[in-house]
A and B are shown apart, each in its own frame.
Chain A
Amino acid sequence: MSKEEILERMEKAIVEGNKNEAEALAKEAIKERMDLNEVIDKGYVPGIQKVGDLWEKGEYFLPELITSAECMKGAMRILQPELEKAQISTKSKGKVVIGTVEGDIHDIGKNLVASMLAANGFQVIDLGADVKLEKFIEKAEAENGDFICLSALLTTTMLGQKKVIEILKEKNLAGRYKVLVGGAPVNQKWADDIGANGYGENAMIAVKIAKKLVGE
């Protein structure tokens, strides 16, 4: 199989949500000593971009997006050790610290956003659910993050999103991080009122906003 054929099949595997194929091709690329940055940029990334386009056109829905993100993650799990071994750094669109705020144990929505961000080239640090508000900031500081993403599924816990932004202001860190908020009771007005940089109504919109905020 030629290099071009492999790259084409990688793109197709992501678009079709074929995890076995995406992973097998990652192994093939390593075996064939292909340029792994090229593999990512010209094989897998066009696939995930196409998936985003299909979602925009209303042809793909959340399950297809997530399946493609799973494929991307599966392929990256195979490529990552090789990239590290060869000390090849991959391009990251930004470092994201994400979690569900203190007092809230819901995590599936947050996990979907984390997967979609990772599939779209962001480096994701997932703190899990019921995360102490100070911890978001501590982690973002320690990891030199770019984004803080706060998920809340209840009207009571969404107040934690506001509190994180207040703590950032108290610490003179307002503007240092882009804060994105999401969750069932959250809306654009809430995001505007508390001074968040963006509101992700769903996982794909969260990716779109994050990309826009990094100038894409």
Chain B
Amino acid sequence: MSGPVEKIENFKVEFDDKRILRLIGYRKRPIEIKEPIKRLITEERKKLDYLLHPASIYTIIDYAETNKHPVFKDAEKVAICICTIGPELEEEIKKLMEKNEMTRALILDALGSEGAEEVAIQSDRILAMKAREMNLWPSKRFSPGYGIWDIKEQQFIFRLLPAADIGVRLTESCMMVPRKSVSFRINFYKEQKLSTRRHSPPVS
């Protein structure tokens, strides 16, 4: 039987400065970030205290309850998850762009992308732990739109999870709103596979 739908909200999102700089365009290592840009990064980071509302929602289902898509083949169970940082940051980006504050918008957008990814990473860790508690082997996480798991499979995810509970909805073209959201699956297998992670499940 499938497990209940669970919600996580107590995320502590940390930001990697190097990744943020790369996301805003410092792909080569710059000699020195100019003071005005440094100041903008600092100011936009401060806004995260009130703009970031990370949350995720997940469920763990038996293979029989999936839509039998080939990506679930051989899985004993499947964890399905949606993560978001909420809509506030994107609303602020929109306002900044309207005010011709494009650099600030760019910085905040990068912080939002990094924030959403961080929520996904933390949710992924929790779900991998759940797999191990069940004595199963977790795969890596995969999102719709990659490989043979078409973006349209978002509809399957959104049928399973009450995404509205964390303020996420799906557009007709299967994009998530807020955009700074991530959805994914982790297959739980009985045995270790090439696609499973290295750590062994706890011995029962």
Q: Interface on A for B, CB 8 Å cutoff? A: 16-18, 58, 61-64, 66-67, 69-70, 73-74, 77, 102-108, 111-112, 115, 154-157, 202
Q: Sample 24 A-B pairs with CB under 8 A, ordered by A number.
A: A16-B36, A58-B28, A61-B25, A63-B37, A63-B103, A63-B107, A66-B103, A67-B36, A69-B102, A70-B103, A74-B100, A77-B100, A103-B175, A104-B175, A105-B171, A105-B175, A106-B179, A108-B93, A108-B109, A112-B102, A154-B145, A154-B175, A156-B151, A156-B174
Q: Is the CB of A108 within 8 A of B145?
A: no
Task: Give the residues in chain A near B172, CB-CB below 8 Å.
Answer: 103
Complex CA gap A202/B100 in Å reads 19
Q: Is the CB of B103 within 8 A of A67?
A: yes
What 17 additional pairs, Cβ within 8 angstroms, besides A61-B24, A63-B107, A111-B97?
A: A16-B36, A17-B34, A17-B36, A18-B36, A61-B25, A62-B24, A62-B25, A63-B24, A66-B102, A70-B102, A70-B103, A103-B172, A103-B173, A104-B173, A108-B109, A156-B174, A202-B25
Complex CA gap A63/B101 in Å reads 11
Complex CA gap A42/B45 in Å reads 37
Complex CA gap A112/B97 in Å reads 10
B106 within 8 A of A: yes
Task: Give the residues in chain B near A104, CB-CB below 8 Å.
Answer: 173, 175
Q: Within the complex, which residue of A64, A103, A105, A155 is in contact with B34, where a contact is CB–CB below 8 Å? A: A64
Q: Within the complex, which residue of A69, A105, A111, A155 is in contact with B105, where a contact is CB–CB below 8 Å? A: A111
Q: Is the CB of A157 within 8 A of B173?
A: yes
Q: Within the complex, which residue of A58, A70, A107 is in contact with B100, where a contact is CB–CB below 8 Å? A: A70
Mark contacts of B51-72 with chain A using CB atoms, 8 A cut-off: 1 yes-contact digit, 0 otherwise.
Answer: 0000000000000000000000
Name the interface residues of B160-185: CB closer than 8 Å to any CB of A: 171-175, 177, 179
Task: Give the residues in chain B near A108, CB-CB below 8 Å.
Answer: 93, 97, 105-106, 109
Q: Is the CB of B145 within 8 A of A156?
A: yes
Mark contacts of B71-108 with chain A using CB atoms, 8 A cut-off: 1 yes-contact digit, 0 otherwise.
Answer: 00000000000000000000001000100111101110
